[in-house]
Amino acid sequence: MKNIFITGGNRGIGKGLVEQFSKNHNVIFTARDTNQAQMIVDSLEHDNADYVIMDVGVNESVQNGVKNLKSKISSVDILINNAGILIPGLKHKISAIDTDLDSMMETFNINTIGVLRVCKALTPFMRTNSRIINISSGMGQLEGMGTGSLAYRLSKTALNAMTIVLSQELMEKKIKVNSICPGWVKTDMGGHDASLTIQESTENIMKFALDDNFPSGKFLRNGEVLPW
């Protein structure tokens, strides 16, 4: 039984990951609201899940959340950086020129810097041979980069670059780091026309996270390596 830490576990893919992993592993997830987090815990069939309150966009909140985490478990085997935003006003075909710069900074603060905040606070608490999975997106892929949603795209491209850097810098501690695209998923962000259910996507992510043949410094979807 492994200790899994999942950011943004109160809805969408994060909630799905909590449901999947908690069947057989200890799961601690983050949320910004106590009532929402407790509702998730109460809804589970298993008692292997708990939560800490954390806003990955705020340094003090991350530090307090990790301090609380340390009071619940002795170490972390798998960190899944799932928390992320796609600001509704930037969701569709808004050009780069028309992108709101404050929204751009907010997106980077959560999707990119937020991941770094969590890694900075948590990696000293992670075991040798542990794993980090950054939930990225095909929208951040340089090969075939499209238009629209510039803030989200660039935040995920930067996240992918950070994955490469961390995979090399954490090699000495034998912590493996990868980015994955969860696919186009039926969430509030993905929309109802998406091709995957949350269960299908999270089952794929869990299988990858627990696989004996876990790579490092890669960008993957459904276990298949993608070009950056």
Mean per-residue pLDDT for 38-48?
Answer: 92
Q: How much is the pLDDT for 194? A: 54
At 51 the three-state DSSP class reads strand
How many other CB atoms are there within 10 angstroms of residue 227's CB atom?
8
At 152 the three-state DSSP class reads helix
Taking the C-alpha atoms of residue 130 and residue 177, their distance in angstroms, rounded to an integer, is 9
Instruction: Count how many domains the chain has.
Output: 1
How many other CB atoms are there within 10 angstroms of residue 95's CB atom?
9
pLDDT digits 0-9 by tens, 112-125:
999 999 999 999 99
Q: How confident is the model at residue 203 (pLDDT cuts 50, 70, 90)?
A: very high
Q: How much is the pLDDT for 193? A: 60
The enclosing domain of 203 has a CATH number of 3.40.50.720
pTM above 0.85, yes or no: yes
Helix pair angle (150-169, 101-108), 10° resolution: 30
Q: How confident is the model at residue 60 (pLDDT cuts 50, 70, 90)?
A: very high
Provide the residue range defining the domain that includes 131.
3-225
At 191 the three-state DSSP class reads coil
Q: How much is the pLDDT for 199? A: 84
Percent with pLDDT over 90 in the chain: 83
Q: How much is the pLDDT for 206? A: 95
pLDDT digits 0-9 by tens, 81-121:
999 999 887 766 789 999 999 999 999 999 999 999 999 99
Question: Residues 68, 74, 75, 79: what is their CA dihedral angle, to the nearest 10 degrees?
Answer: -40
Q: Report whether 116 contacts 57 (CB < 8 A).
A: no
Percent with pLDDT over 70 in the chain: 93
